[in-house]
Amino acid sequence: MIKAFAPATVANLGVGFDVLGLALDNPGDSIIAEFTDRPGVTIAAIDGDGGKLPREAHKNTAGVAALSVLRALNSDQGVALTIHKGIAAAGGLGSSAASAVGAAVAVNLLLGEPLTKAELLPACLDGEAIASGYHPDNVAPCLFGGLTLAYGIEAHQIQPLPVPQGLSLALVTPHVEVPTAKARAVLPQEIPLKSMVKQTAAVARLIRAIYEGDLESMAVAMESDCVIEPARAHLMPMLFEARRAAKAAGAFGLVISGAGPTLCAICASRETAQRVVSALNAVYQEVGIGCTTRTALVTTEGASALAYDRL
């Protein structure tokens, strides 16, 4: 029996739609994998999801990823999964990706770890695909850790980026659901040439700021999204009020995390991030919207061997 932990992630980083992401040191999903006499993959139990996730393996991101691992190894071994959801679904923190990555890595470990992380990527993407399509902006940082640039779906197209010193994050998740399918449905299918140029320049500025370790410039570039945020802003309650409050409390900037509704503020220290989460909490309390706030750092571990317990 193997227990794996897969971290939550922040995708897009504002302007880097479907190509940039980072792994958080909290929260995360835990997946237990164990052998069973029943061939294939069985979902033994799920907790922390409020009964919302499918229990059929072929409909669950964890189950699909686990099945993909077995297929890759030509294994007829039976595996049962127990899924402990630490990441709320439809919250913008890579919940579906974490379940897929956690299951793939747990099953691989259960079978003696025959596959490398790079070789597990296709299975993780197979799982994520049933929730939000084949794009690795959440899967890549969850699996490999750190801050990642993905310009394709193959392992050699996933590039690690340096984590700027001092980077701390303040996150708020208002208690409203924004399903990824809904958030993607509102996106424009075509954009003006001027918008493409502006967005491309912002991504370039962001990458440069990351390599220079310039948190303030990094946040400015992240907030320069002229394509995705304008289309999704109406789905994020109090987005602009939260941005103003975060900056007043010391944050350099605030953007939508993934498909939302979680918002992520860029801060220069854990102490600043603590002040920012207090300010963000006050924004939602004032209008009677429940929310969950937390501070986080970027974890470079991802779903690594150090994150597992052999039970």
Active site residue 128: yes
Q: Name the catalytic one among 128, 148, 173, 293.
A: 128
Q: Name the catalytic one among 148, 180, 295, 299.
A: 180
Active site residue 180: yes
User: How far is 108 from 125, CA to CA, in rounded Å?
Assistant: 15
Which of 4, 8, 3, 55 lies closest to 299 in space, CA to CA?
8
Active site residues: 128, 180
